[in-house]
Amino acid sequence: MAAIVTLTTDFGTRDAYVAAMKGAILGIARTVQLVDVTHEVAPHDVAEGAFALEAVAPYFPPGTVHVGVVDPGVGTARRGLAVVAAGQVFVGPDNGLFTPFLGGSDWAAFELVASEYRLPAVSPTFHGRDVFAPAAAHVAAGVDPSRLGPRVPDPVRLAWPESRRTAEGVAGVVVHVDRFGNLMTSIPAGALAGPGAPAVVAIAGRRLPLVSAYGELPRGGAGALVGGSGRIEIAVREGSAARRFRAGCGTRVVLSRRTTPTTSTTRTTSPRAATSARARRRP
């Protein structure tokens, strides 16, 4: 079975950067299976790249090699890494891109310094092609990651957003906005596990119902649900939650149990107001 190498970058698809990386990989390991995760990570957004890798890695088989290149520090003293975690290998810059895989103690990181596992000429501006792609190809071809360089005990970690219990419920933040305008949050699906009143999600001063699927919402309606990533997400059916709530990464979100009935959107008129209105309509 051919080894799998995935590619996640902020390169886009207009230029030849991605193809050059693939060429470097295939020149070393011709039979690998290449999978494009995404090349549309926002330029230089390391956290977004980390989120993309976290979302897809669990669905790849053991032995998969993931190349991640979101690298605003290319050409500086920042290290290159191969991180072994959960039976897979992650290759890229040491800038926090692999934060989701550095929890606990079941991981090992190695600095990419062995010259025999990179291209003969290394451009200071294109380590994706000249350093990371060759290292990934060699690992996919059977080279043990420990041969790439010395062990690194302190890889860079991002301040990874998590959820926490508060007096209001379970608080988190938006961690990603997808192309549909859905707001992925740091709140895991099981945050309010167990029996209780229906759950609601608060964002930007609004309380939204928790539903099972987008189709349960009316067209243009807003709600929250468990997304494919296993996180709570906020959506507007056939619209954009990001625009509706003017929200983005870092926007606060709270998941809680509904303790009072939802406020009706039907207008009611008091008897006194109705009498006043009738009086104003008299000729």
Residues 133, 172 within the same domain: no
pLDDT at 196: 63
- In this prediction, residue 145 carries a pLDDT of 98
Instruction: Give residue 271's pLDDT band: very low, low, confident or very high (50, 70, 90).
Output: very low
Question: According to the model, what pLDDT value does residue 194 have?
Answer: 67
- Regarding whether 9 and 139 lie in a shared domain, the answer is yes
Q: Residue 276's pLDDT is what?
A: 39
**Neighbour count for residue 43 (Cβ, 10 Å):** 11
For residues 120 and 193, membership in a common domain is answered with no
State the DSSP string of the chain: ---EEEEEES--SSSSHHHHHHHHHHTT-TTPEEEEEES-SPTT-HHHHHHHHHHHGGGSPTT-EEEEE--TTTTSSPPEEEEEETTEEEEEESSSTTGGG-SSS-EEEEE---GGGS-SS--TT-HIIIIIHHHHHHHHTT--GGGGS-B-S----------EE-SSSEEEEEEEE-TT--EEEEEEGGGG-SS-SPEEEEETTEEEEB-SSGGGSPTT-EEEEE-TTSEEEEEETTS-HHHHTT--TT-EEEEEE--SPPPP-S----HHHHHHHHHHH--
Q: Are residues 11 and 143 in the same domain?
A: yes
Rounded CA separation 18/11 (Å)? 7
Write down the residue that tokens 């890229």 correspond to: 92
pLDDT value at 159 more than 70: yes
What is the per-residue burial (b if ≥16 Cβ within 10 Å, else e) of 261-278? eeeeeeeeeeeeeeeeee
Domain presence at residue 275: no
Domain end, chosen from 120, 148, 176, is at 148
Alpha-carbon torsion (180, 181, 186, 191), positive or negative:
negative
Task: Kindly state whether residues 55 and 79 are assigned to the same domain.
Answer: yes
pLDDT for the residue numbered 26? 98
User: Is position 274 within any domain?
Assistant: no
Q: Provide the residue range defining the domain that includes 245.
A: 164-257
Q: How many domains is the chain built from?
A: 2
- The pLDDT-based confidence of 195 (bands split at 50, 70, 90) is low
Determine, yes or no, domain membership for 203. yes
Distance CA 233, CA 178 (A): 10
176 and 66 belong to one structural domain: no
Over the chain, what is the mean pLDDT?
A: 90
Q: Please report whether residue 224 resides in a domain.
A: yes
Cα radius of gyration rounded to whole Å, the chain: 24
- Residue 21 sits in a domain of what CATH number? 3.40.50.10790
Q: pLDDT for 78-124, tens place per residue? A: 999 999 999 999 999 999 999 999 988 899 999 999 999 999 999 99
Among 148, 183, 212, which residue terminates a domain? Answer: 148
Q: How confident is the model at residue 259 (pLDDT cuts 50, 70, 90)?
A: low
Q: How far apart are CA 239 and CA 120, in angstroms?
A: 50
Q: Do 179 and 100 share a domain, yes or no?
A: no
Q: How confident is the model at residue 160 (pLDDT cuts 50, 70, 90)?
A: confident
Q: Within this chain, do residues 45 and 128 fall inside the same structural domain, yes or no? A: yes
Tokens standing for residue 166: 């508060």
Residue 21 lies in a domain: yes
Q: Looking at 148, 180, 210, which one is the last position of a domain?
A: 148
For helices 133-140 and 17-26, the axis angle rounded to 10 degrees is 30
pLDDT in tens, 207-240: 999 999 999 999 999 999 999 888 999 999 999 9
The domain that holds 226 is classified in CATH as: 2.40.30.90
Looking at the fold, whether 56 and 20 belong to one and the same domain comes out as yes
Q: Say whether both 110 and 184 belong to one domain.
A: no
31 & 76 share domain: yes
169 and 143 housed in the same domain: no
- Per-residue pLDDT tens for 31-59? 999 999 999 999 999 999 999 999 999 99
